[in-house]
Structure 1
């Protein structure tokens, strides 16, 4: 079959489509959000496209090598074949020069610029669609890839999905600015991270201000005090320094008074104490309240000395934005 203009056009279309697909997929793989893919994969089966995409992203160097080899196959080898074929179809040197310039412009615009813009814009969709073809190319090129990886070991490096506190802060800030998440949600994220920077000693009510009662007193003796003081919890002290017999809620004392148990000693109605170290971080402390629903905890120093009390509301006040340094 003799060279024809139709054959030339078909060859141009094949090269442009091949180059455009490779450029678009490469841009998509570089731009795709791994966290977004991980979210999609968690809702699908293990062998789904999203899970396969995560594997390809994990070996990103190898995947980009496959795309680059394929892309250069279309651009370089295809251009050489096209040049020879074009020389047979186009007889004049002027026409051949004009054809070469036009083809170069087409490759840049249609084969590179436009597909990369689309690949970046629709990175998730394009990356997911390209998974089956890339897996086939990986299998076909495996011997060649193993050889290249021996020469350039850096290609074998794995890309793990990871993030840190500062990155999450910035993501929340950007999401809030773009209206993707509410401003109060972003503020809450910042406050959650603030919990890790605070300790029990920063949030507690110091011992000098903590509501304390002598365990040897009876309810009648302290009835006026608890009527006037709205503190929800009281620490019941023993006869020695730092000797804590327990804690008792104000409601419990009022209920006993109403029931006529005026002579009952505070040491008889108090509840066991849950001690926490003053250096415990606020986020860890919050989980302690989750495990033990008791509303107050006694804070102690490194020597076991009573230094203050703290309730869940002190930690929650940080999240709510009420807490002030």
Structure 2
């Protein structure tokens, strides 16, 4: 009876350290921080361990020491008690010799204790720790703190020898850190959606946010031909007329040509100046500084630039310093949230299904965004559908011109400002069907 109780206690000891280790490694630090900020003292004591790589290493090391010691003691104790009791039983029941009975007894004890240890001492506590990581991490903290004090001397010896061994092979000890790659974060997002924690639209936006570093300014910008701008030489009445008919609150101002943008006019500043003076001689004094950004910059870096410069738009230039477009904060956010409209702007029609099965597509649609509509990805160097059409022809298409791209009939519906703005395509499935 006593032997059974001791064995159960040793298995529970293993289970405790296994649960403590897996719970602490898998628990979300943000959740513990949330509980600590709301007065949970245990969470407040656990948070410094999660924030400090060295302390977390010690915490995990103590768990492993506890698991190893309890397993070794369990094996030795089981062999010394149950094993010895089995030997005479095997001798009498199966007419075994002492040597054979001793070996058979050792094997039987090994199988029984190993199976019990794996199921009750490792698999079950590990599953519970992963499923209820917050609760288990908090409940096991106090006993683990006692273990840290008790094994501190042993821990110094083991960590010192382990680090010395790693240094022999020039291996850096990075410690236990909760660091995830973009792919792993995407998997976590999908698991959260499958578990009902995220809605479909929330999942889509999170995935899009992770892809911002794959998008360039060139892919998101408003092309130069579509920029609404103001000539500084115009009269105040003409400028007010342009502003009143324009849906945008920030307009680039140029001198001479659009290549010489000298500032940004905010309509609020124009109204304020008019209200204060009732007469505006020139808008030069109320122009905001203009920010220039290369077309190759990634979208996530654009957000950082907007934050640092306290601006919401920038003029896009190519490698030669030539203005090629304009990008706004809204353009970047639209990549995450979808197109953001208001009551003053005309809704952008990306595509429209026609009665004959064809699709009208905006020439400014990005090639990869049109893939789901066309059933395939158009090959080419251009970023937009309109650019691919011009690229295939080797010249600027004419309105009404027809061509074939990857077995699809394409009609150039509209050309504006030397750019293809609308095409009509019969996708592959429509042709083959």
Query: TM-score interval w.r.t. the shorter chain?
Result: 0.7 to 0.9
Q: Which residue of 2 aligns with 1:217?
A: 234
Match of 2:124 among 118, 121, 130: 118
Q: Measured at CA, do residues 319 and 71 of structure 1 come closer, stay the same or move farther in structure 2, by a change above 3 Å?
A: same
Q: Return 262-271 or 280-289, whichever deviates more.
A: 262-271
Distance 2:72 2:322 in 1: 75
Q: Cα deviations across residues 279-310 of structure 1 (Å, max 9, x unaligned)?
A: 33222222333344444322223343322222
2:94 counterpart of 1:78: no
Retained in 2: the 8 A contact 1:248–1:270? Answer: yes
Matches within 5 A, 1:7-46: 9-26=1-18, 28-30=20-22, 32-36=24-28, 39-40=31-32, 43=36
Q: Cα deviations across residues 66-124 of structure 1 (Å, max 9, x unaligned)?
A: 23531333232202320476379979733998998986676355443123233113324
Retained in 2: the 8 A contact 1:237–1:244? Answer: yes
Q: Which residue of 1 aligns with 2:45?
A: 48
Aligned-pair CA distance for 1:243? 1.9
Retained in 2: the 8 A contact 1:276–1:300? Answer: yes
SS in 2 for 1:179: coil
2:164 counterpart of 1:164: no
Match of 1:243 among 217, 241, 260: 260
SS in 1 for 2:301: helix
Higher helix proportion (structure 1 or 2): 1
Retained in 1: the 8 A contact 2:315–2:326? Answer: yes
Greater length-normalized contact order (CA 8 Å, ≥ 6 residues apart): 1
Q: Cα deviations across residues 31-67 of structure 1 (Å, max 9, x unaligned)?
A: 6544525752683689935545765652588446523
Q: Which residue of 2 aligns with 1:297?
A: 314
Matches within 5 A, 1:254-269: 264-267=281-284, 269=286
SS in 2 for 1:317: helix
TM-score normalised per structure 1: 0.75
TM-score normalised per structure 2: 0.59
Match of 2:328 among 287, 305, 311: 311
Retained in 2: the 8 A contact 1:232–1:250? Answer: yes
Retained in 2: the 8 A contact 1:212–1:235? Answer: yes
Equivalent pairs counted in the alignment come to 317
Retained in 2: the 8 A contact 1:200–1:310? Answer: yes
The answer for unaligned runs of 5 or more in structure 2 is 341-364, 367-433
Distance 1:185 1:260 in 2: 48
Retained in 2: the 8 A contact 1:211–1:235? Answer: yes
The answer for unaligned runs of 5 or more in structure 1 is 1-8
Retained in 1: the 8 A contact 2:290–2:315? Answer: yes
Aligned-pair CA distance for 1:192? 1.5
Retained in 2: the 8 A contact 1:210–1:308? Answer: yes
2:113 counterpart of 1:107: yes
Aligned-pair CA distance for 1:216? 1.2
